């Protein structure tokens, strides 16, 4: 259960919060009617702000979607769809919108003022064109389709088929690549479908305001993690460490950890294996008991903070995690295996791979009266040097 939560939390939490926001808006809609004029113009302001902030943080997909939703809302508010689509149903627009959202679920964030931006605009126009082309083809070849399917393609299935395909693409991408931006795109499609099938449940102004807030929170939280999280290990970075130090009380302990002979390990097995070792050590350090908070300090160095604890308390917990890393066998697999076919992998499945071990040295220190965090960190670093000098793979204070 814990694994599933950590694997899908970036999808489940935004979706649950969005459902709560939509539900509360629907429940208290009568109370919000006095703000109708303000709420009707709110999507414009929120989506403009969202597009601007998204561009500042290089989230071009959300910037594009914000502008497109704002354009759709302007047309919808002024009844221009009724005027321009009086010979068609609104189904082509619904399909075109779903296709555009699916498009941004499958591409990466790229600069707008570049060849990528031009290509995005071209693909958006293709999606818009396909929405109308789909129904034109169904009407044009209705007799041939009827001969193939006996009863013809029922009107509800004409829309349902492309919507199911788009939903499958967006859902698969959100599950396979769980991050906040993909979750926001998943929510975009859900709101788009809801707006079409249940328009009476909540006005479009409410839905787009909620969606814009989802985008804003996504950009800000995602940018926070980008600034305060180490990309390789997923641990909080040194910046997060010093940010935490501002809120520590008078009593705490600091542990500095270093992977023994890591440079030699890198030179022997390559940087790719070295990166795997760093991630492995990080995952083991996360299991440290005693209330320790783990950070990647830099390179092969890590830091653990124990708020309100002294060194006598933390040493057994540090020694336990040191022992867990020492006892773990790292199996080195052939890097070519990633590019091999399944048949080739099966042929080589009986091949024995080399197993290696890594160890860590740990130095710890507790804060003394009148000492700053930097001074305590320096004492822990000195204790780490002592552990290395005494033979490595041990805890010193």
Quick count: other Cβ atoms within 10 Å of Cβ 88?
14
**Listed residue (391, 372, 87) closest to 248, CA to CA:** 372
CA separation (Å) from 22 to 203, 207, 214, 265?
A: 11, 7, 12, 53
Please tell me the distance from the alpha carbon of residue 205 to that of residue 226, in angstroms, as a whole number: 31
- Find the Cα–Cα–Cα–Cα dihedral 355, 176, 209, 191, rounded to 10°: -160
Report how far residue 163's alpha carbon sits from residue 193's, in angstroms, rounded to the nearest whole number: 8
Is 300 an annotated catalytic residue?
yes
Question: Measured between alpha carbons, how far is 209 from 192 in angstroms, rounded to an integer?
Answer: 13
Q: By the 8 A CB rule, do 194 and 63 touch?
A: no
HSE (CB half, 13 Å, CA atoms) of 110?
13
Per annotation, catalytic residue among 300, 301, 366, 382: 300
CA distance 125 to 391: 66
| Chain centre to alpha carbon of residue 42 | 27
In angstroms, the CA 304 to CA 395 distance is 13
User: What is the C-alpha to C-alpha distance for residues 255 and 290, in angstroms, rounded to an integer?
Assistant: 13
Pairing of the two strands 252-259 and 360-366: antiparallel
Nearest CA among 164, 157, 155, 172 for reference residue 193: 164
- Which residues are designated catalytic? 300
């Amino acid at each position: 259960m814990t694994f599933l939560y950590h694997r899908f939390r970036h999808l489940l939490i935004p979706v649950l919060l969005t459902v709560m926001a939509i539900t509360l808006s629907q429940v208290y809609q009568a109370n919000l009617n006095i703000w109708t004029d303000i709420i009707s113009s709110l999507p414009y302001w929120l989506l403009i702000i969202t597009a601007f902030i998204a561009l500042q943080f290089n989230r071009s997909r959300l910037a594009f979607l914000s502008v497109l939703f704002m354009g759709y809302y302007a047309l919808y508010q002024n009844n221009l769809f009724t005027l321009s689509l009086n010979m068609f149903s609104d189904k082509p627009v619904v399909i075109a919108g779903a296709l555009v959202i699916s498009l941004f679920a499958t591409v990466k964030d790229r600069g707008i003022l570049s060849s990528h931006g031009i290509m995005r605009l071209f693909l958006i126009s293709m999606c818009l064109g396909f929405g109308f082309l789909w129904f034109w083809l169904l009407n044009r070849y209705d007799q041939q389709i009827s001969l193939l399917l006996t009863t013809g393609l029922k009107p509800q299935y004409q829309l349902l088929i492309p919507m199911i395909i788009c939903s499958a693409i967006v859902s698969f991408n959100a599950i396979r690549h769980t991050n906040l931006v993909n979750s926001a795109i998943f929510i975009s499609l859900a709101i788009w479908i809801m707006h079409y099938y249940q328009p009476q449940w909540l006005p479009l102004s409410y839905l787009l305001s909620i969606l814009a807030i989802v985008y804003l929170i996504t950009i800000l939280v995602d940018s926070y993690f980008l600034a305060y999280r180490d990309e390789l290990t997923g641990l909080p970075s040194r910046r997060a460490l010093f940010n935490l130090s501002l809120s520590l009380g008078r009593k705490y302990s600091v542990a500095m950890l270093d992977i023994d002979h890591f440079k030699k390990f890198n030179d022997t097995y390559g940087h790719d294996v070295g990166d795997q070792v760093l991630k492995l050590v990080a995952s083991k350090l996360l299991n440290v008991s005693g209330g320790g908070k783990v950070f990647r300090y830099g390179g092969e160095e890590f830091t653990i903070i124990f708020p309100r604890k002294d060194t006598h308390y933390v040493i057994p917990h540090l020694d336990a995690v040191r022992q867990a890393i020492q006892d773990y066998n790292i199996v080195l697999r052939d890097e070519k295996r990633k590019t091999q076919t399944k048949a080739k992998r099966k042929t080589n499945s009986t091949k024995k791979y080399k197993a290696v071990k890594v160890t860590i040295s740990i130095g710890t220190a507790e804060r003394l009266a009148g000492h700053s965090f930097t001074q305590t960190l320096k004492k822990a670093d000195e204790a780490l040097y002592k552990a290395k000098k005494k033979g490595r793979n041990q805890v010193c204070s």
